[in-house]
A and B are shown apart, each in its own frame.
Chain A
């Protein structure tokens, strides 16, 4: 009566799936924790925000049209942002594309002081005082970094402190050739 073996067989299949998933997690080809941003492949949210340097001046993201750029969400209150800052300076210099900093729920004076002290990697830094734009970008926590392609679509989202190695692995491949 083979039908009595059905439950055992069904569980063996399930066990096989688990084993396969675990082996892939172990060798690094599968990461269930990695959350892909729903923004990937979608047009980047636009924004018009006052700049940190001078709040009377507004910066419009439409001015970035037609070329790739990076958006980095940070704040002076965020320790990991401070950790990634030196790496950002190097990366921004090498990448040679616009780096837009979104200063998230922050104090403008503190932000100016922070950039003056640690160096400014950003082509432009805008102040998102009430955090509304960060919500548009689906930001969970600072720092988060996005790469937007020349077609205006989001190519990469990375949450956490950026390093040169991560940049080389996740971001740089999109910038080869087409620049």
Chain B
């Protein structure tokens, strides 16, 4: 009976989203105050019913209600509680429900926290979000209901995919979805701007914190996913250019561009059309990601149970939202043209370049992701586009971007003069490169690969350049806007990230060895001694466990345990790596196959500076958080006169 209540709750939510869309959009058009007010109430209602349905599904997992097909396929009596809850979004149907829940959460937050918006504008935003919610609830109800009954009821379930049984992965999808779905808010603001013809500095100021909030969640979500892939997949890589990773990375690039373009639109009233397009692109790329993951058109390690008929449905949604909004853009954009100009060297032109490079990066990734499908569809052969392509083409736009960020941050609006700061920046750049070269030669004893010193140097330069302004102001006890501090923190994070990537890419060592108990293998000055193996068991798996002691020059460094887990229900084997974490390097041991005669294959890895990749991501997100807390985004606070060095 309980699952049927869940279906009913979703059905009510579906009707309510339709109402939310109609009352919001039509009410704003007719300037009907009662309709517009009702939209806010209905938005809360949608949230309540979707949350209720979601909790029913969570409950079903907790109490092992295997009469529900989705639960039976993705849970098991022996599955620990944490993973039973995480299993709710472990496969297609439940993750779609999570998608809808997060959308309704964002909508509810917008309706609660945007009291300062004009009524008709808020109604249009909520109406647009209602339309998106209606589309996805229809998709959930009619192609992917999580509450479908299974008869006869099995005694036990088929278990959650072992690869997903990990704490980081329990948190990764909700965070990523917060970001993905959060792009719909900027999208709704863009649609509302086009419908009302109002797109001024106030509009940008309303839109910016929501965009940054979504971007922040996306940043954290991607970072978590990368960290998870690093230790759980057992390969020690941190990014694989897998179609699904690309699907989350492209909206990130578009949102990053959007954040910067919004700054120009707010401060200078420029780039309006471009900002609108980016808001549509960011959301479109999120939808495209959803489509690519769920339709089965691309091959990925993440593959959800792919189903082409579902694919057609999502494609339909995609066409309605994207083509609809782009057509609206085509009709309205000519009347929203920006006026005013700027000098070739100015903050505007730096941000324009930033946008061009970010969009170019996203475009190149899109091309690489879709190219195999294009080739395959037209019978031109099966190809796979992998890291060699992505690593190369991604560096082309992003490497200049690092230098550009470091310099552009210090430029001023309209016309920038580097008379005062040019010297400082030049010194910082040289100091960064010298420090980079020193790190390469002194710490690692070689220049690495051709880009190593440029990578290290660029990273140091960017970090120093980011900190310069806030530190100077701190010393002089000058006030500074939170938004400016947030920007500095986020850019500092990019510097950390660049250094991490340079370190790993240049000096990592991977070695596959065959070892028996007592054998020693050495990489990067560390001695790995294979101690022993034994059997181990977890709640729903058995494992072969290997113990490795690591010493450096006779001094003990760490003792690691690595497991090869055999899950009982789904007979997959999973490698659980042993990792010794350090501020300057990770040491990584993964147990491979038993080779007979007491020998095992082991993968040993030395990963210098790898932690800074994720630390960089955390700093970027933190920067976003600080920026959102800026006073001027709060209701009733009149914006102080433009603070230089903020954007």
A and B associate in one complex: yes
| 24 interchain pairs, CB-CB under 8 A | A1-B330, A4-B331, A4-B333, A4-B334, A5-B326, A5-B327, A7-B329, A8-B327, A12-B323, A15-B322, A15-B323, A17-B374, A17-B377, A18-B311, A18-B318, A20-B377, A21-B376, A21-B377, A22-B311, A22-B312, A26-B309, A32-B297, A32-B298, A35-B299
Most buried by B among A22, A24, A36: A22
Please tell me if the beta carbons of A8 and B315 are within 8 angstroms of each other in the complex: no
Given contacts A25-B296, A129-B596, contact A1 B334 (CB under 8 A): yes
**Contact partner of A18 among B291, B309, B596, CB < 8 A?**
B291
Rounded to whole angstroms, the CA-CA distance of A146 and B377 in the bound complex is 26
Is B275 on the interface with A (CB-CB < 8 A)?
no
Chain A residues near B297 (CB-CB < 8 A): 18, 21-22, 25, 32
Q: Is B322 touching A11 in the complex (CB atoms < 8 A)?
A: yes
Q: Collect the chain B residues with CB atoms within 8 Å of residue A4's CB.
A: 329-331, 333-334
- By a CB distance below 8 angstroms, the chain A residues around B593 are 105
Q: Which chain A positions have C-beta within 8 A of B295?
A: 18, 22
A12 to B315 CA separation, bound complex (whole angstroms) = 11
Residues in B whose Cβ lies below 8 Å from that of A34: 382
Bound CA–CA A36/B311 (angstroms) = 24
B599 nearest in chain A by CB position:
A130
Q: Is A30 an interface residue (CB 8 A)?
A: yes
**Chain B contacts for A26, CB-based, 8 A:** 308-309, 312
Contacts of B373 in A (CB 8 A): 17, 21, 32
Kindly state the separation between the CA atoms of A105 and B601 in the bound complex, as whole angstroms: 13
For B309, the chain A residues whose CB sits under 8 A away are 26
Query: Does chain A have a CB within 8 A of B55?
Result: no
Q: When A and B form their complex, which 8 residue pairs have the shortest distance between CB atoms, in order from nearest?
A: A8-B326, A4-B330, A5-B330, A26-B308, A25-B308, A21-B377, A7-B326, A22-B311
- Known contacts A8-B330, A12-B319, then 4 further A-B pairs from the complex at CB < 8 Å, ordered by chain A residue: A7-B326, A15-B322, A19-B315, A26-B309
Contact B299 A33 (CB under 8 A): yes
Within 8 A of B (CB), among A84-136: 105, 129-130
Inside 8 A of B277's CB, which chain A residues have their CB? 7
A33 and B307 alpha carbons, distance in the complex (Å):
12
**Bound complex: CA A8 to CA B331 (Å):** 11
Distance from B607 Cβ to chain A, minimum over Cβ atoms (Å): 26
Tell me the interface secondary structure of chain B in the complex: helix
Bitwise, A28-43 to B at CB < 8 A (1) or not (0) is: 0010111110000000
How many of chain A's residues touch chain B, expressed as a range?
20 to 34
Q: Which of B308, B329, B374 lies in contact with A8, CB distance below 8 A?
A: B329
B237 nearest CB across to chain A (Å): 19
Q: Give the interface size bracket for B toward A.
A: 35 or more
Residue from A12, A14, A19, A105 with most neighbouring chain B CB atoms (10 Å): A14
Residue of B nearest to A8 (CB): B326
Interface residues of B in 293-319 (CB under 8 A from A): 295-299, 308-309, 311-312, 315, 318-319
A-chain residues with CB within 8 Å of residue B374 when the two chains form the complex = 17
Q: How far is the CA of A4 from the CA of B330 in the complex (A)?
A: 4
Tell me how far the C-beta of A170 lies from the nearest C-beta in chain B, rounded to whole angstroms: 16
Contacts of B107 in A (CB 8 A): none
In this complex, the member of B280, B311, B333, B377 whose beta carbon has the largest number of chain A beta carbons within 10 angstroms is B377
How far is B322's CA from A14's CA once the two chains are assembled, in angstroms?
11
Cα distance, A1 to B334, chains bound together (Å): 8
B82 at the A/B interface (Cβ < 8 Å)? no
Nearest-neighbor residue (CB-CB) of B311 within chain A: A22
A4 to B276 CA separation, bound complex (whole angstroms):
12
Check B562 for interface membership: any CB of A closer than 8 A: no
Within 8 Å by CB of B315, from A18, A32, A129, lies A18
Cβ–Cβ contact B319 & A15, under 8 A: yes
| Contact residues in B for A18 (Cβ distance below 8 Å) | 291, 295, 297, 311, 315, 318
Chain B residues positioned under 8 Å from A32 (CB to CB): 296-299, 372-373, 376
Q: In residues 543-581 of chain B, which contact A (Cβ within 8 Å)?
A: none
- B284 CB within 8 Å of chain A: yes
* Shortest Cβ distance from residue B481 to the other chain A in the assembled complex, whole angstroms: 34
Contact partner, A11, options B284, B298, B377, B595, Cβ 8 Å: B284
CA–CA, A3 to B446, complex, Å?
Answer: 52
What are the residues of chain B within 8 A of A11 when measuring CB–CB? 284, 319, 322-323, 326
* Chain B residues near A20 (CB-CB < 8 A): 377
Residue in A closest to B372 when the chains form the complex, CB atoms: A32
A25 to chain B, nearest CB (A): 5
Within 262-283 of B, Cβ neighbours of A (below 8 Å) are at: 277, 280
Nearest chain A residue, comparing its CB with the CB of B571:
A79
Taking the nearest CB of chain B, how far is it from the CB of A27, in angstroms? 9
Give A12 to B329 CA distance when docked, in angstroms: 15
A31 and chain B: residue at smallest CB distance: B376
A135 to B53 alpha-carbon distance, docked (Å): 49
Chain B's closest residue to A4 (CB) is B330
Question: Is the beta-carbon distance between A22 and B308 smaller than 8 angstroms?
Answer: yes
Which of B331, B334, B382, B595 interacts with A130 by CB under 8 Å?
B595
- Known A-B contacts A8-B329, A18-B297; the reply to A30 vs B315 at CB < 8 A is no
* Residue with the greatest number of chain B CB neighbours at <10 A, chosen from A8, A17, A18: A18
A15 touches B330 (CB 8 A): no
A13 CA to B541 CA, complexed, in Å = 48
Residues of A within 8 A of B312 (CB): 19, 22, 26
Q: Hey, which chain B residues are within 8 Å of A24, CB to CB?
A: 377
Nearest CB of chain B from residue A131's CB, rounded to whole Å = 8
Contacts of B296 in A (CB 8 A): 25, 32-33
Q: CB-nearest residue of chain B relative to A33?
A: B299
**A17 to B312 alpha-carbon distance, docked (Å):** 12
Chain A residues closer than 8 Å to B333, beta-carbon distance: 4
Interface contact A30-B284, CB-CB below 8 Å: no
Rounded to whole angstroms, the CA-CA distance of A138 and B376 in the bound complex is 22
Name B347-391 residues within 8 Å CB distance of A.
Answer: 370, 372-374, 376-377, 382
Q: What A residues does B596 contact at CB under 8 A?
A: 129
Q: What's the Cα separation between A14 and B370 when bound, in Å?
A: 10
Known: A8-B329, A22-B295. A30 touches B376 (CB 8 A): yes
- Closest Cβ of chain A: how far from B439's Cβ, in Å? 38
Q: In the bound complex, what is the Cα–Cα distance between A169 and B406 (angstroms)?
A: 61
Q: How far apart sit A105 and B373, CA to CA, in the bound complex (Å)?
A: 36
Q: How far is the CB of A49 from chain B (nearest CB, A)?
A: 16
